[in-house]
Structure 1
C-alpha cells in the first residue's frame, strides 16, 4: 500500500537550497543584492531549526554557516544548483507498506522555462552522499513538481489542471492519464482538480501551493479576492465556487478557510509579483507563513492562530522571495518520518 503523507504528519527534516552567485538571485548591477536575498532564507531556516533538523544545500558551506548565530539542527551540504525552489525538485516522500520511500521525479524548470539540469540532479547527489541514510530512493521518469500537488495523507490529491495537464509537462496528458500516474506513484485514490485560479507573475502555471492548501483532511485554506477591480477576481471567484463543490472522502463539504489577497505588489519594472499567503509551511511544531509588508499580514496570522491552535505561528517577510517568483513554501521541502 502506497500513500503520500500530508504535510502536517511527522517530519524527519526540511530541505532548503540557498542562493549563490551562479543563480538568478545574483544581480550583477548590485553586488549587495545577493546578500539581501539570503536574509529570508536565513530566517526561514532559523524558524525551522528551532524545533527540527534542516538540511541546507549551498555552494559554500563555510560561508553560509558563518551567517547564523546558531547552527543547531542545521546541516550544510555543498551541491551545485541552478535555483532555490527545492519544493519543486526535492524528494517527494511516500509511505510504502508503512516505510518511507523517496521519489525523484523529473524537474524541467517549469515546462522548460529555465535551466534546471543541476537542480534535477540534487536528489541523487544528496542520496549518494548518505544524508538520507538507508531510506530507499526511486527515480521516476515523469515530470512532477512538489508545489503542484497537495495531499491529505489519506489518498486525496488536490491539484490544478493548468499545471499538471499543461503541454509543457509530459506532452500534455489528460486528467485521467495524470490520475493513473498519481495512483501508481503516490497511491492517490482520487484527485480533486481545480480548473480556475492563477497568480500574475507566477512561472509555475498555477501551482496549487499558491492557491489552495489542505490544513487537515477536512479543511482547505484558499486565496480569496474581494476586489472586483483586481485582475484575479473572476478566476478566483470561479475557484472558490469549485472548492465549495468538492467533498471529503466521507461525502461532506470541506470546511473552507479564506485567506486574503495582498494589495498588488510590483517590481522595479512594474511587473506584478505573485504574493500569496497560501504559500505557508507546516512543520512539526510551527506554522511558518509569508508576509509582504501588507495590511493583511497581521490578519492572516490571526487566521492561522485559529486554524493551527496547537502550533507556534511564525511570520517571515518574503518580499524578496516573490521578486524571483516564489515564496516561503516554494523554498522548502519536508521529508516525512
Structure 2
C-alpha cells in the first residue's frame, strides 16, 4: 500500500503500519533501577525475561541494558535466543513508550518518528529513556524525525489504514503538550502517523502514570475492527466507566474509509491473583508477533479461555500464547507496554 497526501500528489509519505504486519524484530528494555522498582525489581525482571523468551520463539528480540553487569544478568535470564546490547542505556522497561515509532517510508524502506518521551509528563526519571528512540533509530540506520507533540507509543493505536485513536487524558494534557489545543495535537499526530482520521476517547487523568493509555482497553485488530475490554457487570469504578465509555464511542465511530467500526467485546477477569492497586488486568495489552499473539492470563480459567479464543478469532492463523506476568502488571503496565515491534520494510 502506498499513501499519498491527496489525490493530486505523486509523492508518497511515511505511515505507521498496523501491528500485525511482518516484523523484523521486537525491541525490549531490561529493568535495572531499584529507584524505580524497589523490592519488586527481581520479580519484574523474571516477567520481562519470560516475555522475551516467549517472543523469541517467534521472532528476534533485542534487549537494551544499561551496562555490562546488567547485560550479563539479562542474558542469563533471557537465554541465548535474545540479543542483549548495552549501546542504548535505559531507565525503565516500557519500550512501547520510549522506542521510536517505525514507519513505512513510501519508497520500500523504513523511517522512524520520535514522540519526545518526557516521563509521562515528568512523573519519573527519564534521562536515558528520553534518548532511546533516537538511539534505536540511529542503530538501525534509519532516518528519523521528531513529532510536533509529546506522547508515547502506548497512547496511540493505529489500524494502518488511515485511522488512529487515543485518549485525550494522555495527550491533551498540559504535562505533555502545554499550550496546544486538541486540534493542534490532532494535526501533529496525524502528520506523524501518516493518517487521516482521529478518534478521541476522553480517558482518565491523574489516576495512573500514563494518564490512561488506550492500549490497555481498546485495540485495533484490523482496519474496521476494534476490540474493547469490558469490566465485570458489578464493577463501577473510574476504570470500568472509562471502558464502557470507550466501547460506546467506538461503536458509533467511523474510520478513515467511512466504515462503521465493528467493536468486539472482550470481558475482563472476575478475579486476579494480585492485590496491587496498580494491577492492570488487561487481556488486550497483547503483543502481536510473527505467527503468534502473546497475552496475559490471570488465573480466571473461564475468562482466560474466552479471551484466548477471542484473540484466536481476531488473528486467524496465529498461535495465542498466554503467560503469567502478574509482577509486571502490578507495576501498571503489561506485555504490549514492554515491547516495540520493528516491521519489515
Q: Give your verdict on TM over 0.5.
A: yes
* Structure 1 residues 265-305: Cα deviation after superposition (integer angstroms, max 9, x where no partner): 5966x635232111011112111111222342222111111
Asked if 1:85 corresponds to 2:94, the answer is yes
CA contact (8 A) 1:245 1:253 kept: yes
Q: For this pair of structures, how many residues does the alignment match?
A: 325
1:36 to 43, 65, 74: 43
Q: Distance in 1 between matches of 2:71 and 2:315?
A: 34
1:25 aligns to what SS in structure 2? Answer: helix
CA contact (8 A) 2:272 2:281 kept: yes
Aligned-pair CA distance for 1:233? 3.7
Asked if 1:211 corresponds to 2:220, the answer is no
Which structure 2 segments of 5+ residues have no match?
1-12
Alignment of 1:169-184 (within 5 A): 169-171=176-178, 173-184=180-191
Give the corresponding residue for 1:146.
153
2:200 to 190, 193, 201: 193
Give the corresponding residue for 1:304.
311
Give the corresponding residue for 1:105.
115
- Distance of aligned partners of 1:241 and 1:160 in 2 relative to their CA distance in 1, 3 Å threshold: same
Give the corresponding residue for 2:262.
255
Q: Distance in 2 between matches of 1:229 and 1:185?
A: 37
Asked if 1:135 corresponds to 2:110, the answer is no
Give the corresponding residue for 1:75.
83
Please tell me the root mean square deviation across aligned C-alpha atoms, in Å. Answer: 2.2
Structure with a larger share of its residues in strand: 1
Q: Distance in 1 between matches of 2:147 and 2:105?
A: 15
Which structure 1 segments of 5+ residues have no match?
28-32
Q: Distance in 2 between matches of 1:238 and 1:223?
A: 11
Give the corresponding residue for 2:16.
4
Give the corresponding residue for 1:13.
25
2:17 aligns to what SS in structure 1? Answer: coil
Give the corresponding residue for 1:122.
132
Aligned-pair CA distance for 1:64? 1.5
Aligned-pair CA distance for 1:243? 1.0
1:26 aligns to what SS in structure 2? Answer: helix
* Structure 1 residues 280-333: Cα deviation after superposition (integer angstroms, max 9, x where no partner): 111121111112223422221111112112101111212111221111100001
Aligned-pair CA distance for 1:245? 0.5
2:105 to 85, 90, 96: 96
- Distance of aligned partners of 1:105 and 1:146 in 2 relative to their CA distance in 1, 3 Å threshold: same
1:330 aligns to what SS in structure 2? Answer: coil
Give the corresponding residue for 1:30.
none
CA contact (8 A) 2:278 2:330 kept: no
Q: Distance in 2 between matches of 1:323 and 1:144?
A: 23
Structure with a larger share of its residues in helix: 2
Q: Distance in 1 between matches of 2:251 and 2:338?
A: 29
> Under a length normalisation based on structure 2, what TM-score does the superposition of the two structures give?
0.87
CA contact (8 A) 1:127 1:137 kept: yes
Q: Distance in 2 between matches of 1:21 and 1:113?
A: 15
Aligned-pair CA distance for 1:199? 10
2:36 aligns to what SS in structure 1? Answer: coil
CA contact (8 A) 2:34 2:41 kept: no
CA contact (8 A) 2:148 2:188 kept: no
Q: Distance in 1 between matches of 2:222 and 2:136?
A: 30
1:239 aligns to what SS in structure 2? Answer: helix
CA contact (8 A) 1:264 1:272 kept: no
Alignment of 1:42-81 (within 5 A): 42-59=49-66, 60-68=70-78, 70-72=79-81, 74-78=82-86, 79-81=88-90
1:275 to 281, 285, 292: 281
Q: Distance in 2 between matches of 1:280 and 1:172?
A: 34
Aligned-pair CA distance for 1:146? 0.2
Aligned-pair CA distance for 1:200? 9.7
Q: Distance in 2 between matches of 1:200 and 1:222?
A: 22
